[in-house]
Structure 1
């Protein structure tokens, strides 16, 4: 909480990120065994707290938005890993069909580009 106080009261915006990480990780370890819906995935939660810290730091000094979104996507992939793998298995079945017929697909794309009219 001292980092967050320093970050917001003294306008030292670089202290926001470690403050969110430390406070968020403390909150995570405090609530992980006590609340049934709280996720037990420690790595995913750490990346989520880094993402939240990057978003809060971006709010104050307008840099680091790409990193915040990157960490958010990584956190969601880690937190919902089982659902993501189920989706990728469905995607793999569709890609196996395309992999089987990729020469024909490339020929059709080539014929399209050959005969399309230029405007």
Structure 2
């Protein structure tokens, strides 16, 4: 890290606030006394370092730490927050997307993880669609030898030209 002051400053402020909240034991802030808060603090510190010092390689891990920490905090604070593995894929997709804007790579991975997150998060709503797709794949699987025949014809007749 070229400019360590940003990361170190944010980390010290965050850890100071974290330990102060633990010291004071305020019931209003009791949700912020666990390990997810530490993820959020270090994630914010990495993101601050990434954007202010133009060290964009820290965007991905900063987003992952911040997102996972925020996810676990929101699970504690709200019963309506989805506690599903699809949220992890969504956070990873956001991390790839933010990183790809500055690093110029990772956009395809972000689309893949967004699609995977949507499938997992909304799979109950799409169960009929999955049943149709499963039946279609089962039907096509019965005719897989035709794929071999077509491939052989392609290699013999078309690819030789």
Q: TM-score, normalised by structure 1?
A: 0.71
Alignment of 1:105-116 (within 5 A): none
Partner of residue 52, structure 1: 94
Q: TM-score, normalised by structure 2?
A: 0.54
1:8 matches 2:71? no
Q: Which runs of 5+ in 2 are unaligned?
A: 1-43, 143-161
Paired positions, count: 101
1:74 matches 2:116? yes
Paired residues of 2:93 and 2:111 also in contact (CA < 8 A): yes
Q: Which runs of 5+ in 1 are unaligned?
A: 101-119
Cα separation, 2, equivalents of 1:97 and 1:57: 41
Q: CA RMSD in A?
A: 2.4
Q: CA 1:68–1:99 in 2, change beyond 3 Å: closer, same or farther? A: closer
Cα separation, 2, equivalents of 1:99 and 1:16: 43
Alignment of 1:16-35 (within 5 A): 16-35=59-78
Match of 1:87 among 129, 148, 151: 129
Q: CA deviation at 1:55?
A: 0.6
Q: CA deviation at 1:74?
A: 1.2
Q: 1:1-26 deviations in whole A, cap 9, x for unaligned?
A: 11101111111111001111111111
